[in-house]
Amino acid sequence: MLLRLDKYLADMGMGTRSQIKEKIRKGKVAVNGEPTWAPELKVDPSRDTVELEGRPVGYAELEYYMLNKPAGVITATEDKRQKTVLDLMEGRKRRDLFPVGRLDVDTEGLLLITNDGELAHQLLSPKKHVDKVYYVKLDREIPREAADTFAAGMTLGDGTKLQPALLCLESTVSARLTIREGKFHQVKRMFQAVGCRVIYLKRLSMGPLALDETLAPGACRPLTEEEIRQLKESVSLKAGQ
Ligand code: URA
C-alpha cells in the first residue's frame, strides 16, 4: 500500500493536512533519513521510515476501540455544532477512525470505532445477520402480542419490512431486543408500531462483542486481540485480513 506523505502523517494524528503540508514545506519531515519537501510523495508504510522533527512516526495500520456512548453526543466523525463520538476519543490521535453504524443521539452503549473499512462493511451488511442486542425501557406496559409480532418479521408503517427479532421481557416495561439489521430508528419504530414509546435505549452487544460494563459512559478502550479475532470470525474474515 502506498500513501501520500501528508495523509500518512495526518492519519497518525500529527496535525491537519494543511498543518502537515506546511511542516513538510519547511523541511521538518524526512523519509528514509532524507529530508523531503513534497507532501505528495508516496510512501510505503511497511518499508519506509518517516520522521517528523527528528522523531520517527510509525504507521499503525488498523485500530479497534469500543466506546460506551453516552446520551447527548452524535454518531459522526465531526460536526460544527454538536459533540461527536470522535470528540470523546481525543486521546486517540489518528484521524481516520470512524464509528461502525449509528446510534441515535439519545441512545447509549456499545459503539465500535475503527479504521478497518472492510470489517465495518461486513458487520453492517444485512447479509451477514450480525445480531445487535438492545436494552430498552418503555413508557407503558409492553403488549402481550409484541414478542410474536417482532418474531414474525414485521412491516413498519412506511412499508419497511423487517427481519424477525427476538424480544425477551425483563419486566412489564423493559426488555432485551435482538435485531439483525440497523434500519433508521429501528427499535423505536418497532415499539411505536405496538403502541409504546422508547424512553431509554442502550446497545449491549454487536455480534460477539459485548459492552464492557466497567467502561463509564463516554469512556473507550482498545479491543483485545481475542475480541478482534471473534468479531472477524463472526463475519468470516480471517484474523490479519
Ligand atoms: N434503534 C433505534 O431506534 N435507535 C438507535 O439508536 C439504535 C437502534
Q: What is the DSSP string of 67-81?
A: EEEPTT-BSSS--SS
Residue nearest atom 7 of ligand 1, based on CA coordinates: 103
Catalytic residue among 48, 104, 131, 212: 104
Q: How many CB atoms lie within 10 A of CB 1?
A: 9
Does residue 230 sit in helix, strand or coil?
A: helix
Q: What is the pLDDT along the chain (241 residues), one digit of tens a residue?
A: 899 999 999 888 788 889 999 999 999 999 999 999 999 999 999 899 999 999 999 887 789 999 999 999 999 998 999 999 999 987 666 778 999 999 999 999 999 999 999 999 999 988 888 999 999 999 999 999 999 999 999 999 899 999 999 999 999 999 999 999 989 999 999 999 999 999 999 999 999 999 999 999 999 999 999 999 999 999 987 555 5
Residue nearest atom 4 of ligand 1, based on CA coordinates: 185
Please give the Cα distance from 206 to 52 (Å, whole number).
39
Taking the centre of ligand 1 as the mean of its atom positions, its distance from the CA of residue 121, in whole angstroms, is 19
Question: Which 3-state string (H, E, C) describes 151-178?
Answer: HHCCECCCCCECCCCEEEECCCCEEEEE
Q: How many CB atoms lie within 10 A of CB 133?
A: 20
Atom number in ligand 1 closest to CA 203: 7
Atom number in ligand 1 closest to CA 132: 8
Atom number in ligand 1 closest to CA 104: 6
Does residue 56 sit in helix, strand or coil?
A: strand
Kindly report the pTM of this predicted structure: 0.82
pLDDT for the residue 32 = 96
